[in-house]
Structures are given as C-alpha cells and as structure tokens.
Amino acid sequence: MNVNDVKPIILPDDPVTQAGYILDRQTLLEDHYWTIEKRPSPTVAVNSQVGQILIKDFLWRITEEVGESLEASLIGEPLEKIYEELADGLHFVAGLAVITNMKDPFIKAWNETVMGPQPRGGITSQHTYLYDLIASLGILGNTLKMKPWKQTQVLTDEVYFSQCLQNMITCFLRFCIVCNLTHHQLLDYYHRKSEVNLFRIRSKY
C-alpha cells in the first residue's frame, strides 16, 4: 500500500483545525509507536535523560526525511516522491510535539505560516530556508544539556525549549512552502501517508 492507494477526503480549511487534525492523527500513530519502539512511555519529560535521547532521535529523523526529499530532487524523482518525503518529515515534526506534550507550538507555527506572508520559491530561497531549518534543528537540540558523558547534569529551560520548538516547526513549514508545497497539499500528503502508516501497523510491516 502507498499514498496513491488512499482515497482523498475533504480536509479542513481552517488552519487551527488543520493543525489539530494533524496532531490528533499523530497522537493515534504515536499510541502505537511507543509500544512498537519500546519507549518508556507515550510522552517523555524534556528534563529527563531518556526523554532528551528520544527528542534528539526525532530531530535526526526529521533531518533524514528532509535529506531524502533533497536526494529525490537531485536524482530527478517525481514531485510526488519529494512531497511524500516532506510529509514523512511532518510526521516526525508533529510527533515531537506529541511526545513532549507541547502541542501549542505546533498549532501556533502552522497557523502563523498559513496566515502570514508566504516565502518565495526558487533555488536561492530553498537554500536559505534549508539553512534556517538545519540551524533551528541544531539550536533546539542544543537546549538539551543532559549529555551522556557529563557527571553533573544541567536542566533545560523548558520555556526556551518551547520557543525553539515553535521556531523549528516554522522553519520546516517554510522550507516545504519554498519547495512549492502548499499547506493544503502538505496536509493531503500527511493524511494519505498516515493512512499508509496505520495500514503498516495493522499488517505488522
């Protein structure tokens, strides 16, 4: 089963409702993934070593999906393949909001990027927004100070973490936009890929 096998549905037009739809779908997925991946719990505390390891793992998953979208573009894959990889990235972006129980930054970032001025496309813009995205991923990860090699751990400022999380989500969405993927298209691809993922869970893929 792939995204082309999923029948289209009528998706919400209101940006806040769109964001809520994604978070609800991702919560449904994470309710399965936390047992499949043998995580300690459905959500994790930002100020726990286990939580920080998982959060950083999600940051890498986002980076990898963006890398896969870039590779698909470089080797001339169809736009559908590029957009599917970005939708995969959105799964992990939303998943990060779900597992940290910080959904407001996702809703705010989604709403602001839909309602605000849209960035222009083109190769130069893609490079600029890709730089912003990679920087935001690194800055968010750097808020997590519980390093395995440290004997005295330092707590994370959770307010600052939340701000950096929202900025990262905004940067991800803006990168999708300059790749000529509208919010509604991204939502559509996200929905269809979430159906594929639920099918894979049921079939023990």
pTM to 2 decimal places = 0.94
Q: In this predicted structure, what is the pLDDT of residue 96?
A: 98
Residues 137 and 164: beta-carbon distance below 8 Å = no
Question: How do residues 151-166 score in pLDDT, each as one tens digit?
Answer: 677 899 999 999 999 9
Distance CA 191, CA 87 (A): 9
**Token output for 15:** 């940006």
Checking if the pLDDT of 1 tops 70, the result is no
Rg (CA), the chain: 17
Average pLDDT rounded to a whole number, residues 82-106: 97
In the 8-state DSSP scheme, what is residue 148? T
Instruction: List the CATH code of the domain at 14-202.
Output: 1.10.4010
Query: In Å, what is the CA distance from 124 to each residue of 119, 121, 131, 175?
Result: 12, 8, 11, 12
Q: How much is the mean pLDDT over the chain?
A: 92
Checking if the pLDDT of 115 tops 90, the result is no
DSSP string, 17-67: HHHHHHHHHHHHHHHHHHHHTT-SSSS--TTSHHHHHHHHHHHHHHHHHHH
Q: In this predicted structure, what is the pLDDT of residue 144?
A: 96
Question: How do residues 74-84 score in pLDDT, each as one tens digit?
Answer: 999 999 999 99
Q: Which amino acid is at 23?
A: L
